[in-house]
Structure 1
Amino acid sequence: MSSERLLFDFVRSKWRQFAFAIALIATANIVQSYYPKLLGSFTDQLQRAELTPPVIVDYSLMLLGIGVTFALFGGVGQYIIMRIGRYFEFVTRKKLFDHFTQLSESFYSQHGVGKLLSYVMNDVTSIRESISLGINQTTNAVMLIAAAVTMMAISAIPLYLIAVCIAPLLIIPFVVVKLGPVIRMRSLSVQESLGKMTESAEEQFAGIRVTKKFAVEPIMIRRFGESVDRIRDNQLRLVRVSSLFQAIIPFLGALSLVVTIAYGGYLTIENRITLGNFVALTLYIRMMVNPLQQIGNVINTVLRSRASLERINDLLARPADIAEDEGAKPVNLDRSGIRVSGLSFAYPDAAKDALHGIDLTIEPGKTLGIIGKTGSGKTTLAKLLLRIYDPPAGAIRIGGVDIREMTLESLRTQIAYVPQEGFLFSTTIRDNIAFYRRDSSLGEVERAAKQAQIYASIIAFPDQFETMLGERGVTLSGGQRQRTSLARGLIKNSPILILDDSVSAVDAVTEKAIIETIRAERRNKTTILIAHRISALQHADEIIVMDEGRIVQRGTHQQLLAQPGIYAVLHAIQEEGSHYAEGIRTPGSGS
């Protein structure tokens, strides 16, 4: 995909509107080109003493007509093109966001939010300017220059004089060839540094509370200042070459005007051209200087926008890491069992497998508990079930169907996944809980909140379920955010529920109430509980213990306690910690 493809496809889709706008601007400039010719004729008649009041009125009305026509046609044409440019901004940002939703988690782990915002804000704006400014000024400049040269040729001005006067302007193409690539590369550096600065700013804002708690504001200011300094340096490098480019064109225009006055004035004195032709020639050459400067602006803008075009096209050309196979079909996962066979998986660029040789079966309506140390592969297994990452073909089947043969929508809409750190949006608590089921009634939202043991906390707020949350749910405590996220998963009422350490931030009493509610509500539905605390999953029909990406133990709670291994060790440690905590809460207990 060429760097200009995005822009070309858009312009082609709007070619009728562009053509109409260009015709209006062209007409305006053709009419404007009569201005010097009229003044030349007026000068000749003035010199011959042929002017009378009616003739002066005629000239005045013609000049007024030129001004009104130019303003009306040119203004409408420019408005249309500016409007199209804004529409490009609108559709391209929507296209980018749609593409972002199709990219996998691995993409976002490699690209910060600030960099992605740079695509949406800086790059799209740069391209939009090349459309609006580029087409407006290019049409203005080309038509005015063409009309000026034509009018000079038909005004009895010698062609050799025209050629001599515009000769300095012919140097401009060589300037473009020489400086153009330099401007484009330096523009690319500016856009990349802007993305890094935006990324740094987003990170600093998100972590401002940590910064204040550790009193490291000077360090953060210096770190952000470094990214700003890089932008300054790159922009100054761009400004130097852009300024040189912008200065050369007016200089060449001024040089043409000097040649016109010197040589044209000499020919006028020698009576080889009329005074009126000399006036017209001077005005035409002067009229051409501004369009040439506009061409310089356009070239400068287009060269800068090409860097943005390349960045956006590269992004849009990036295929989704997780794509539906041809022939993928929607499936119904209700009352479907899960079978994992010989599953091994490694993250991109990882030195070793995150999972190795995983075999397990979850019967429909049963509960599986998963426990293990941090980094043992528990969350990786959950993400593979959702195809956040792609498992090997045939390694995971639900209801006997390979999940790679299912449509992503049917798979993910029928699995409710609640992570340890659930993301909450800056909207009401009700909207956050009803995130998937937007048509949920208040009663359904309240029921899910009660199941997640967050209802009492919500109704304690003045606005209850209409309470607006701050960014990422900052209004709530850690435990409240976790239970609100849990309510969002429970209201989905999916055939399969995965809780990935989703009650780790609540106390033991609340955890027990949540687990008992889930057991009662999901008696005939498949549930996967991932936890570090044994108390959260000891009721499961089967528990697997993971270590180093492998299943090292499996069985019920009682079976695992009866055999030596990680599970029994974890149970002993957690029981000892529980007794210690109970002793702290109950002074004099003897603990």
Structure 2
Amino acid sequence: MKYLLRLRPILAPYGWQILVSLLILLLITATQLVVPSIIGNVIDYGLSGGHEGYLVTAALVILGIGLLRAVLSFFQSYLGAWISQHISFDLRNRLYNHIQYLSFSYHDRMQTGQLISRCIEDVSSVQEFTGSGVVELVQILLLILGVAVLLFIDNPRLAFISLLPMIPLIVVTVRFGERVGKMFYAIDQALGSLSARLQENVMGAQVVRAFAREPYEIQRFDVTNRDVYDARVNILHQWSRIMSTSHFLVAFSTILILWFGGNMVLNGEITLGEMVAFNGYLLMIAEPTRQLVWLVNTAGEAGAGLKRTFDVLDLQPEIASPPAAIVLPPLSGRVEFREVNFRYQDETNAALRQINLQVEPNQIVAIIGSTGSGKTSFISLIPRFYDVSHGALLVDGYDLRQVDLPSLRRQIGIVLQTSLLFSDSIRENIAYGRPDASLDEVIAAAKAAQAHEFIMEMPEGYDTVVGERGITLSGGQRQRVAIARALLLNPRILILDDSTSSVDTHTERLIQQALNTLMEGRTTFVIAQRLSTVRRADQIIVLDQGKIAERGTHAELLAKDGLYREIYELQLRVQESSEPSVVGS
């Protein structure tokens, strides 16, 4: 319930629509409450008294009430749906917007499928409850309250007897409501895991088929799907028990009215019409009372969805611009690591230790090291994807923790071997960092990245839509589009991976030309896989177990006969005779 109450800020902009909706509900409830009394008068005055004209009048009044209720119900249904759609729209946008600013450390430990489930499934459960559940719940409560008041005004003793079975029904419903939230939270978690399993399988479809592991993946999905099934069956079991109890208690109330009310009629304490009206009022709340259990069920599902939603919304981004952040001017590109240590959240060992490094503007820094040596961690600190655990990282003398994040990241270009492209046109992908760029600027960047020729061979040219993650392009084509994207941004600091191991010789030559163009006049940090890159570098940083093991130029490090020499002999020397002739130009 506390999570449902937290919807108030989202409901606030729709205050007058909610107020109108409540007024319509009051009118609908009032029209319902009139009918049993009219029927009672028909029996006592129209039938018993022989007033035939009253029967016609009563019929016309009931018909008018029915038409009025139909009109009011139409507007109520429309308003309820309108409000719920706006609430789900706002809540989903708020959740998505918040996810955009959550830190990489959060995404490192959160499954993508869980986030997708929260944005879709959980928000949909809130929409369903706010669209129909809340309306019906308020209407039922108004109806029960109105009926109880009328019954006690008419005959307190019979009202107390007839409503007595409602007390255990309310107790049972409340207890069910206390349990159902936790049950639906378990369902939502299981659905999130199911989404994560499906998303992972779809993205890894090529690997699954390559290793003929379809039966294994089917079995894994079945286990996760079974968790969802078991959780839902558990709720259905509890819900069916409550529903059977509610049916019995409502029927028992009818029996009490017929027994005690019948005796009162025989004793002349009330008329037959009054007893019929009394029973009509009770039957009027019988079905809504049973629906109350379903509404508690729906509220529990919405509450669980909101809990998972607010679990995300309540998280504060670990990486954010500080108050009074410094908006960076155009950078010259000087970068300095001062006694930097870095450790990932929940990890015991540091990924980087005692990193001290000063890089002057326009220098090229090649980063070399074995797998797990800390290369990715090193470059991830420069755009402040993570904060250093100790020490400081400065750009042009500014501590990154004190600067405005957008003003920093707009001046840093990143091109990795696995650079992501979006399911959009090639033009939109190249202009992603500069949406206002003209077509001429996009084409110029593509030409410099050696991408213009293959783009023009495509059916729609620059308007060709690439598939999800750029899957319709080859690896080399994706990399050149990513290079064009970085060129158009015109960053002062560049981070790239020069690996071209997955492409043919011709494509490799084109990529190397594009990379050479991209690196000109920029401070560049490159995870070096190519001999040409390390030869060209002003500094080579050799990382080993998170520490700088060696630094210097290619010639200096070869002369030391240390770790770099070992890497050179194992990985780089073989490129001596195969380097493209354009490299280093």
What band does the TM-score fall into relative to the shorter chain?
over 0.9
Does the alignment pair 1:348 with 2:345?
yes
Aligned length: 579
* Cα contact 1:329–1:405 (8 A) shared by 2: yes
> CA 1:521–1:108 in 2, change beyond 3 Å: closer, same or farther?
closer
Q: Which residue of 1 aligns with 2:582?
A: none
1:199 deviation in Å?
0.6
* Cα contact 1:371–1:534 (8 A) shared by 2: no
Q: Which residue of 2 aligns with 1:185?
A: 182
1:580 deviation in Å?
8.5
> CA 1:580–1:503 in 2, change beyond 3 Å: closer, same or farther?
closer
Q: Which deviates more, 214-223 or 547-556? A: 547-556
- Give distance in 2, aligned partners of 1:278 and 1:563: 106
Q: Which residue of 2 aligns with 1:27?
A: 27
Map residues 359-508 of structure 1 onto 2, 5 A cutoff.
359-392=356-389, 395-501=392-498, 503-507=500-504
Per-residue displacement from partner, 1:205-246 (whole Å, max 9, x unpaired)? Answer: 111122222222111111111111111111111111112222
- Give distance in 2, aligned partners of 1:188 and 1:519: 53
Map residues 123-202 of structure 1 onto 2, 5 A cutoff.
123-154=122-153, 157-202=154-199
Map residues 300-315 of structure 1 onto 2, 5 A cutoff.
300-315=297-312
- Give distance in 1, aligned partners of 2:174 and 2:59: 44
Q: Which deviates more, 573-582 or 43-52? A: 573-582
* Cα contact 2:242–2:293 (8 A) shared by 1: yes
Q: Which residue, 233, 247, 254 being the options, matches 1:236?
A: 233
- Give distance in 2, aligned partners of 1:178 and 1:260: 27
- Give distance in 1, aligned partners of 2:547 and 2:504: 30
- Give distance in 2, aligned partners of 1:189 and 1:501: 46
SS at match of 1:395: strand
- Give distance in 2, aligned partners of 1:286 and 1:471: 57
> CA 1:101–1:502 in 2, change beyond 3 Å: closer, same or farther?
farther
Per-residue displacement from partner, 1:390-423 (whole Å, max 9, x unpaired)? Answer: 0257611111111111111111111111222111
Q: Which residue of 2 aligns with 1:7?
A: 7
1:128 deviation in Å?
2.1
- Give distance in 1, aligned partners of 2:400 and 2:418: 26
1:68 deviation in Å?
1.5
Structure 1 unaligned spans of 5+: 583-591
> CA 1:354–1:501 in 2, change beyond 3 Å: closer, same or farther?
farther
Letter in 1 for 2:494: L
Letter in 1 for 2:319: I
- Give distance in 2, aligned partners of 1:321 and 1:502: 31
Letter in 2 for 1:452: A
Q: Which residue of 1 aligns with 2:46?
A: 46
Per-residue displacement from partner, 1:269-310 (whole Å, max 9, x unpaired)? Answer: 333211111211111111111221232222222123222222
- TM-score with structure 2 length normalisation? 0.93
- Give distance in 1, aligned partners of 2:212 and 2:32: 65
Does the alignment pair 1:16 with 2:16?
yes
Letter in 1 for 2:7: L
Q: Which residue of 2 aligns with 1:106?
A: 105
Per-residue displacement from partner, 1:405-452 (whole Å, max 9, x unpaired)? Answer: 111111111111122211111112222111111222233222222332
Letter in 2 for 1:48: S
SS at match of 1:425: coil
- Give distance in 1, aligned partners of 2:572 and 2:106: 41
> CA 1:374–1:501 in 2, change beyond 3 Å: closer, same or farther?
farther
> CA 1:109–1:190 in 2, change beyond 3 Å: closer, same or farther?
same
Q: Which deviates more, 275-284 or 170-179? A: 170-179
1:97 deviation in Å?
0.6
1:9 deviation in Å?
2.8
Structure 2 unaligned spans of 5+: 580-585
- Give distance in 2, aligned partners of 1:472 and 1:572: 36
Per-residue displacement from partner, 1:286-336 (whole Å, max 9, x unpaired)? Answer: 111122123222222212322222222222111111122222111124323
Q: Which deviates more, 91-100 or 460-469? A: 460-469
1:504 deviation in Å?
4.7
Letter in 1 for 2:44: D
> CA 1:481–1:209 in 2, change beyond 3 Å: closer, same or farther?
same
Q: Which residue of 2 aligns with 1:586?
A: none
Letter in 2 for 1:162: A
- TM-score with structure 1 length normalisation? 0.92
Q: Which residue of 2 aligns with 1:530?
A: 527
> CA 1:112–1:6 in 2, change beyond 3 Å: closer, same or farther?
same
- Give distance in 1, aligned partners of 2:262 and 2:16: 46
SS at match of 2:327: coil
Per-residue displacement from partner, 1:237-274 (whole Å, max 9, x unpaired)? Answer: 11111122223223211111111122212222333211
Q: Sequence identity of aligned pairs in percent?
A: 33
Q: Which residue of 2 aligns with 1:261?
A: 258
* Cα contact 2:337–2:355 (8 A) shared by 1: yes
- Give distance in 1, aligned partners of 2:486 and 2:405: 18
Per-residue displacement from partner, 1:522-553 (whole Å, max 9, x unpaired)? Answer: 54322222212222332122222222212222
* Cα contact 2:39–2:273 (8 A) shared by 1: yes
* RMSD, aligned CA: 2.3
Q: Which residue of 2 aligns with 1:587?
A: none
SS at match of 2:434: coil
* Cα contact 2:476–2:507 (8 A) shared by 1: no
Q: Which residue of 1 aligns with 2:120?
A: 121
Q: Which deviates more, 208-217 or 229-238? A: 208-217
1:367 deviation in Å?
1.8
Q: Which residue of 2 aligns with 1:588?
A: none
SS at match of 1:87: helix
Q: Which deviates more, 189-198 or 38-47? A: 38-47
Per-residue displacement from partner, 1:354-376 (whole Å, max 9, x unpaired)? Answer: 11111111111222222222222
Does the alignment pair 1:96 with 2:95?
yes
> CA 1:27–1:334 in 2, change beyond 3 Å: closer, same or farther?
same
Q: Which residue of 1 aligns with 2:295?
A: 298
Letter in 1 for 2:36: P
- Give distance in 2, aligned partners of 1:492 and 1:136: 51
Does the alignment pair 1:569 with 2:585?
no
Letter in 2 for 1:136: V
Letter in 2 for 1:24: I
Q: Which residue of 2 aligns with 1:589?
A: none
* Cα contact 1:134–1:298 (8 A) shared by 2: yes
1:507 deviation in Å?
4.9
